[in-house]
Amino acid sequence: MTMRRVILAAALFAFLPASFAWAEMPDAAKSLFEAKSVAERNTALSTLEAAAKDPASAYAAGA
């Protein structure tokens, strides 16, 4: 039983990082974090807010 747990844990740790590699940040969010000036940040933030499907998402993007 212990050997099964070890194998399962090893498989989990092997495949967990691969699943995070597929989840890539949207370009607008990348540009928000890579902005060098306030104007670039505001432009990226406006893009994120405009892309939001509902007002709560837009508010969360601006928070």
pLDDT of 3-62, one tens digit each?
A: 888 888 887 777 766 555 556 667 777 777 788 898 988 888 888 778 777 767 666 655
Element (H, E) at 49: helix 38-51
Tokens linked to 26: 């949207």
Which pTM was predicted?
A: 0.46
Give me the numbers of helices (H) and strands (E) for the chain, helices first please. Answer: 4, 0
Q: How confident is the model over 3-17, as pLDDT tens digits? A: 888 888 887 777 766
